[in-house]
Amino acid sequence: MKKNVYSLLVMVALALTATFTACSDDDDDTPLVEIELDENIVTVLPGESITVKVLEGNGGYQVTSQNSAIATASINESTITVTGVMESEEDQTTTIEVVDAKQKTATIKVYVTKSVNPLKIDLEEMTFEMVVGDTKDVEIISGNPSYTVVSSNVAAVGVSEVADNVFTITAKKVSETPVTVTLKDSKSREVVLTVTKVAANEVTSIAIDEAGKDIKLTPGKTFELADHVSWLPLTADVPTLLYSSSKESVATIDGNGKITAASVGTAVITVKVEGADIEETTTVTVTEPEVIKFSNTGWGLTYSGFAAWEGHNEDPSAIFNGNPFSGWWEAPESGGSSAGQWIQIDMKSLKNVVELVIARRCEGDWIKGGLKSVKIEYSNEDTDNPTTFEFLMDVNYSDVEHIAGEPEGSGSAVEAEVAKPNVLSTAIPMRHIKITVTGQWKGDKPCIGYVDVFGYE
């Protein structure tokens, strides 16, 4: 019985030993870390105190000054207070040793001096907001060179190096979290600035200039409204603009701010900043275009090759003089007919043509020349030598030779007869106009007094 009790006690003792050993092993497995301080070198004035933070360590900290006649040290949890003691004309130095519970150590080099300048900057507010893209120059007006500047969030707020006692703070990225900018000098003096918020560089207003207000267009014409929109502040990030039309049957506008007139009427165009309650409007009025007679200055003329037209003074520009009584083109006959003879006008650029006047030659009250009918063709090829012509219309003239009831030589009734407008049902873009003789009467040579072209600019 005693033997069994003894064996039981031995087993319990062994179990307890194992338990204690395991606990001891657990304690030994705790990782040790080196002591890290926020400052390893400080400068103080006699009687002045400065704090140093223990950033990392193993707890149970103790501090000791190698020379308490120069500087003393005390600690409260993880905050070390260093106080300068000795007054001297020359700088004095000593070392504070920091030891933790695991016997890890760190040191603080302490300079006690009488020649420390206060660190001051030329900035009234130490706390402020910024907008992305903003910069703020900060001048150091007093301190102890050299200087360092550190941002707590360089992605949001950047800082430059100090040059000529000035450094620059730059707002780089939106941040709702405060960012500190810390300036330190060689004597461990510091100034802390706080950027409480970095806001987006947002547009506050938009405007449409005078050229973009009350736009007047004709159907088919366009207007680049985006070129006339601006915003404030000028340094703001480029906004995304949204465009809309109150009446797309009158005028449409695409995502790039290009207005296209569709039909007669009025539409309001709205420009809005995406994601903001900021907008501006303008009015587009679409009217029927004004029909004008195109200036023929610089136009060119060619004619059929087998028999030249004999113009007034052989001047091809006579066809453009707008007067059926002076200057004409006369088609020579071949085998008793002028059919197939042609003239071709080059207007040198595409025109939107809606009306043609091909006048016969006149003398006083008399229509001269036997022009009975012509075929009109056109080409919209914007080149000097077109290869394809499209049929436009046939023009037939009356066989009336003398217009009675008009005073001899007045020509007004005659001109009305010979210059009847040939109106197209819709505007057609063209550059070249070809007029070919298809009929004549009385055996006279067909004559054309002039050609006028009307349309829209």
Q: Can you identify the CATH homologous superfamily of domain 293-456?
A: Galactose-binding domain-like (2.60.120.260)
Q: Taking the chain, what is the end-to-end CA distance rounded to the nearest angstrom?
A: 128
In terms of Cβ atoms closer than 10 Å to its own Cβ (0-12, 13-18, 19+), residue 339 is middle
Instruction: State which amino acid sits at residue 207.
Output: A
For the domain spanning 205-286, the CATH number is: 2.60.40.1080
In the chain, the amino acid numbered 231 is W
For the stretch 317-357, pLDDT in tens is: 667 666 555 556 777 766 667 888 888 999 999 999 999 98
| Residue 328, token pair as written in the block | 């004409």
Q: Which of 15-24, 81-90, 97-106, 202-211 has the lowest mean pLDDT?
A: 15-24
Segment of 45-49, 165-169, 405-409, 434-438 carrying the highest mean pLDDT: 165-169
**44-57 residue pLDDT tens:** 888 889 899 999 99
CATH of 120-199, one of 2.60.40.1080, 3.30.750.210, 3.30.70.1290, 2.40.110.10: 2.60.40.1080
Beta strands in 58-131 (DSSP E): 62-65, 71-76, 79-84, 92-99, 105-112, 120-121, 127-131
Decide whether 120-199 matches 293-456 in CATH topology: no
Half-sphere exposure of 377 (CA within 13 A, CB side): 16
Helices vs. strands in the chain: H and E counts, helices first: 2, 36
What confidence tier does 72 reach under pLDDT thresholds 50, 70, 90?
very high
Per-residue confidence band for 404, with pLDDT thresholds at 50, 70 and 90: low
pTM of the model: 0.47
Q: How confident is the model at residue 263 (pLDDT cuts 50, 70, 90)?
A: very high
Task: Summarize pLDDT for 120-166 with one digit per residue, the tens.
Answer: 899 889 999 999 988 999 999 988 889 999 999 999 999 999 999 99
Helix (H) or strand (E) holding 378: strand 371-379
pLDDT at 213 over 90: yes
What's the rounded Cα separation, in Å, for the pair 298 and 302?
13
- Among 22-26, 86-90, 125-129, the range of highest mean pLDDT: 125-129
Q: Which residues contact 238 (CB under 8 A, 6 or more apart)?
A: none
Pairing type for strands 422-440 and 371-379 reads: antiparallel
* Other CB atoms within 10 A of residue 291 CB: 14
Structural domain boundaries of the chain? 36-112, 120-199, 205-286, 293-456
Q: Which of 12-26, 92-106, 290-304, 414-428 has the highest mean pLDDT?
A: 92-106
Interval 186-210: pLDDT, tens = 888 899 999 999 998 889 999 999 9
Residue with the two structure tokens 């890890």: 104
In angstroms, what CA-CA distances link 260 with 19, 230, 430? Answer: 89, 21, 22
Please check whether the domain covering 36-112 is classified as CATH 3.30.1330.90. Answer: no
pLDDT at 21: 42
**What's the rounded Cα separation, in Å, for the pair 244 and 222?**
15
27 CB-contact burial (10 Å; exposed 0-12 / middle 13-18 / buried 19+): exposed
Determine what percent of the chain is predicted with pLDDT higher than 70. 81
pLDDT on residue 389: 97
What residues have CB less than 8 Å from 68, skipping those under 6 apart?
A: 85
- Which of 19-28, 269-278, 352-361 holds the top average pLDDT? 269-278
Q: Are 422 and 355 in contact (CB under 8 A)?
A: yes
Eight-class DSSP state of 100: -
